[in-house]
């Protein structure tokens, strides 16, 4: 019997938003390199598990083992409160399943928290691969913890340039493969979603959770009130899933009940529709601050508006590069209505910038998909590792 290396893909979050950033690699690794690798997908929540199963239907022939990782019963009781401040369950899940992680040869993950398996729990011989789960410019997206991973899959040249500039990328330890999420979304939404039963212009407001740089706590209620007063527009309020989930830590302002009753305002604080790009595709205009989702929005170029609620000097700052392909509101009361009205008038100016930024951010290659390229890169890297070669019985 031929031995195979055990490759685990980990999804360890409350929201399933990270799933499409790594699951496609698992299925293509199984389909094309199943003779070398036993592929397992381990999920922390039912939401992640269900989304993984849905994506699996797009990759016939993949033979992947699905695992639901448990956390202790006592922690489940306290978690609803603790999670409003910190996602402690992520660490508890790692600690509670060390036997599983020790059984793996390789762990692939779209988040960096699992690096604690090395730094906190002492599993030194586990090969770790990072896929990223955001494509934005925010400073937090270039986390030094990337150094704990043996290999990184990157969406495009932008990340090569920036991570190298920060000294966080080593030659031979990364591959530029593209963005597999787009492949999943194209299958999930063959036609454009429609949220409102009218033909009004629809704006999606997508504030980030980091309130040191984001807009919700300062200007968010002003945004909702503006659209409540202007029923000629539709508004989808779909913030980053963490904003309200970890509301104590971010001191997230509550939404007055009256906004839930406005027929032109749709509020979703974290359902699957806010994860699978339903709202991003349904909108005509993007309104946000520092969320990476704006890069997914310009997959189909459309007007973008940014809220500078902190009066940041953003020009020339690489962490605000995405603000260069849309209008920026510096004073809400003075500017917002005018900026909104000019969105389509100025589209011709910003569309070329959006297309250029998209190409710089997301690599593409005719004849193959990002998931295929990522699986190939993972296989090529692993087959060079002495641990994997020994497991497969290959000569060095």
Query: For 195-240, how does the pLDDT look when each residue is reduced to its tens digit (9 = 90+)?
Result: 999 999 999 999 998 888 899 999 999 999 999 999 999 999 999 8
Measure the CA dihedral 33/169/16/83, to 10°.
140
Give the pLDDT mean for 150-167.
94
- Residue 3 confidence (pLDDT) above 90: no
Q: What is the pTM of this model?
A: 0.94
What the block records as the tokens of 4 is 């195979």
Give the pLDDT mean for 297-315.
96
**Of 200 and 134, which is predicted with more confidence?**
200
**Of 360 and 248, which is predicted with more confidence?**
360
Q: Model confidence over 170-181: pLDDT tens digits? A: 999 999 999 999
Contact 37, 136 (CB under 8 A): no
CATH topology of domain 193-361: Rossmann fold (3.40.50)
- Residue 84 confidence (pLDDT) above 80: no
Q: Would you state the pLDDT for residue 327?
A: 98
- Residue 79 confidence (pLDDT) above 80: no
Measured distance CA(143)–CA(169) in Å, rounded: 11
All residues at 6 or more sequence positions from 185 whose CB lies less than 8 Å from its CB, including other chains: 20, 276, 277, 281
- Residue 264 confidence (pLDDT) above 70: yes
Measured distance CA(292)–CA(166) in Å, rounded: 20
Q: In the chain, what are the domain boundaries?
A: 5-179+364-392, 193-361
The DSSP secondary-structure symbol of 105 reads: S
Q: Is the dihedral of CA 303, 143, 87, 69 positive or negative?
A: positive
All residues at 6 or more sequence positions from 60 whose CB lies less than 8 Å from its CB, including other chains: none
- Residue 341 confidence (pLDDT) above 90: yes
Contact 251, 219 (CB under 8 A): no
**What average pLDDT does the structure give for the chain?**
93
Write the DSSP string, 209-221: S-TTT-SIIIIIH
What the block records as the tokens of 44 is 């922390």
Q: Would you state the pLDDT for residue 80?
A: 63
Give the pLDDT mean for 129-149.
85
Q: Model confidence over 54-76: pLDDT tens digits? A: 999 999 999 999 999 988 777 67
Q: Would you state the pLDDT for residue 332?
A: 97
CATH class of the domain at 5-179+364-392? alpha beta
- Residue 245 confidence (pLDDT) above 90: no
**Nearest Cα to 381, choosing from 29, 9, 50?**
29
Q: Do the two domains 5-179+364-392 and 193-361 of this chain adopt the same fold?
A: yes
Contact 268, 257 (CB under 8 A): no
- Residue 42, strand partner residues: 10, 67
**Nearest Cα to 49, choosing from 41, 40, 38?**
41
């Amino acid at each position: 019997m031929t031995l195979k290396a055990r490759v685990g893909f980990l999804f360890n979050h409350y929201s399933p938003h990270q799933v499409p950033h790594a699951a496609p690699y698992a299925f293509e690794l199984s389909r094309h390199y199943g003779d070398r690798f036993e592929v397992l997908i381990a999920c922390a929540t039912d939401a992640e598990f269900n989304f993984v199963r849905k994506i699996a239907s797009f990759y016939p022939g993949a033979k992947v083992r699905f695992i639901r990782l448990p956390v202790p019963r006592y922690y489940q009781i306290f978690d609803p409160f603790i999670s409003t401040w910190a996602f402690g369950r992520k660490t508890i899940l790692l600690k509670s399943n060390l036997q599983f992680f020790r059984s793996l040869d390789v762990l692939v993950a779209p988040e960096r928290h699992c690096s604690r398996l090395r730094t906190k729990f002492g599993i030194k011989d586990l090969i770790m691969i990072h896929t990223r789960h955001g494509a934005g410019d925010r400073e937090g997206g270039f986390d030094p913890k990337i150094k704990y991973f043996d290999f990184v899959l990157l969406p495009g040249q932008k990340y090569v340039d920036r991570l190298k500039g920060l000294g966080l990328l080593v030659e031979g330890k990364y591959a530029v493969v593209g963005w597999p999420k787009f492949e999943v979304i194209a299958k999930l939404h063959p036609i454009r979603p429609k949220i409102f039963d009218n033909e009004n212009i629809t704006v999606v407001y997508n504030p980030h959770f980091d309130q040191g740089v984001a807009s919700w706590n300062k200007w968010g209620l002003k945004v909702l009130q503006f659209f409540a007063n202007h029923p000629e527009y539709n508004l989808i309020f779909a913030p980053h899933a963490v904003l309200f989930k970890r509301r104590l830590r971010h001191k997230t302002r509550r939404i007055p009940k009256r906004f839930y009753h406005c027929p032109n305002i749709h509020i979703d604080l974290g359902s699957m529709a806010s994860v699978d790009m339903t709202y991003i595709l349904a909108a005509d205009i993007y309104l946000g601050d520092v969320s990476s989702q704006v890069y997914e929005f310009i997959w189909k170029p459309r007007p973008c508006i940014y809220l500078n609620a902190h009066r940041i000097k953003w020009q020339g700052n690489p962490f605000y590069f995405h603000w260069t392909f849309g209008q920026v509101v510096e004073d809400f009361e003075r500017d917002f209505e005018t900026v909104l009205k000019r969105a389509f008038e100025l589209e011709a100016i910003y569309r070329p910038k959006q297309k250029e930024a998209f190409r710089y951010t997301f690599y593409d290659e005719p004849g193959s998909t990002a998931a295929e390229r990522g699986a190939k890169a993972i296989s090529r890297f692993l087959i060079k590792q002495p641990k994997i070669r020994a497991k497969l019985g290959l000569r060095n």
